[in-house]
Chains A and B, each alone.
Chain A
Amino acid sequence: MSTSLAHTEEHADHGHAHEHEHHDLPWYRKYVFSTDHKVISKQFMLASLIFLFIGGAFALMLRWQLAYPGEAIPVIGHLLPDTWVAEPGSGVITPEFFVQLTTMHATIMIFFVIIPMAVGMFGNFCIPLMIGTDDMALPRLNMWSFWLVPPAGLIMLAGVFTEMGYAGAGWTSYPPLAADINKEAFTFSGQTLWLISVFMIGFSSIMGAVNYVATVLNKRAKGMKLFDMPLTVWGLFITAIIATLGTPVLAAGLAMLFFDNFFHTSFFIPDHLVSGASFPGGGQPVLFQHVFWFYSHPAVYIMILPLMGIVSEVLATFSRKPIYGYKAMVFAVAGIAFLGFIVWGHHMFQSGMNPLLGTTFMLSTIVIAVPSSIKVFNWLGTLWRGNIHFSSAMLAALAFVSMFIIGGLSGVFMASAPVDIYIHDTYFIVAHIHYVLFGGSLFGIFAGIYYWFPKMFGKMLSESWGRRHLFWSFLAFNATFFPMHVLGIGGHMRRIYDPNVYDFLKGMQGMNEFITIAAIVMGFSQLMLVGNILYSLKWGKKAPRNPWNANTLEWAAPPHPGHGNFDMDITVYRGPYEFGVEGRELDYWPQWEPGKSITVHHHTIAVSDDTSTSVGMH
Chain B
Amino acid sequence: MSLALNLSHEPITKIPHGKLAMWAFLASELMFFSGFFGGFIVLRNTNYDVFGAGSAHLNWTLALINTFILIGSSLTMALAIHNLEHKKDGAFRLFMGLTILGGFGFLIVKYIEYSSKFADGLFPGQENHTVFYSFYFLMTGFHALHVIAGMIPMAYIFFKGFTKAGYPYPSKVETLGLYWHFVDLMWIFIFPALYLMIPYHVAGAH
Contacts and interface: CB of A to CB of B under 8 A. Distances in A.
Interface of A: 4-5, 8-9, 12, 17, 21, 132-134, 137-138, 141, 185-186, 206, 209-211, 213-215, 217-222, 244-253, 255-256, 259, 263-267, 280-284, 287, 290-291, 294, 563-571
B140 to A, nearest CB: 13
Contacts of B27: 244-245
B176 to A, nearest CB: 14
Given A245-B31, A256-B36, A259-B138, A569 B5 contact: yes
Contacts of B32: 248-249, 251-252
B124 A265 contact: yes
A134 B7 contact: yes
Given A280-B130, A287-B43, A214 B20 contact: yes
Contacts of A253: 35
Contacts of B204: none
A458 to B, nearest CB: 17
Given A214-B21, A250-B35, A568-B3, 6 more contacts: A4-B1, A132-B7, A134-B7, A137-B17, A222-B9, A265-B129
Contacts of B199: none
Contact of B31 (A9, A246, A564): A246
B65 to A, nearest CB: 27
Nearest to A224: B12
B115 interface: no
B18 A265 contact: no
A218 B11 CA distance: 5
A3 B5 CA distance: 15
A249 B34 contact: yes
Nearest to B29: A248
A5 B4 CA distance: 10
Interface of B: 1-9, 11-13, 15, 17-18, 20-22, 24-25, 27-36, 38-39, 42-43, 46-47, 50, 124-125, 129-131, 134-135, 137-138, 142
A287 to B, nearest CB: 5
A263 B17 contact: no
B177 to A, nearest CB: 17
Nearest to B24: A210
Contacts of B131: 265-267, 280-283
26 contacts: A8-B3, A134-B2, A134-B8, A137-B21, A138-B17, A206-B28, A209-B24, A213-B21, A218-B12, A218-B15, A219-B11, A244-B31, A248-B30, A249-B31, A249-B34, A252-B39, A253-B35, A256-B35, A267-B43, A267-B134, A284-B42, A565-B7, A566-B3, A566-B4, A569-B5, A570-B7
Contact of A249 (B20, B22, B35, B50): B35
Contact of B124 (A137, A185, A245): A185
B1 A265 contact: no
Contacts of B12: 217-220
Interface of A is mostly: helix
A569 B42 CA distance: 56
A454 to B, nearest CB: 20
A266 B134 CA distance: 7
A247 B28 CA distance: 8
Given A214-B21, A284-B43, A185 B2 contact: no
A141 B21 contact: yes
Contacts of A133: 7
B36 A134 contact: no
A181 B42 CA distance: 22
Nearest to B2: A564
A218 B17 contact: yes
A218 B4 contact: no
Nearest to B1: A564
Given A252-B36, A287-B43, A263 B21 contact: no
A282 B134 CA distance: 11
B18 to A, nearest CB: 7
B17 A214 contact: yes
B47 A221 contact: no
Contacts of B124: 185, 259, 263-265
Contacts of A252: 31-36, 39
Contacts of B6: 221-222, 569-571
B21 A210 contact: yes
A284 B20 CA distance: 38
B133 to A, nearest CB: 8
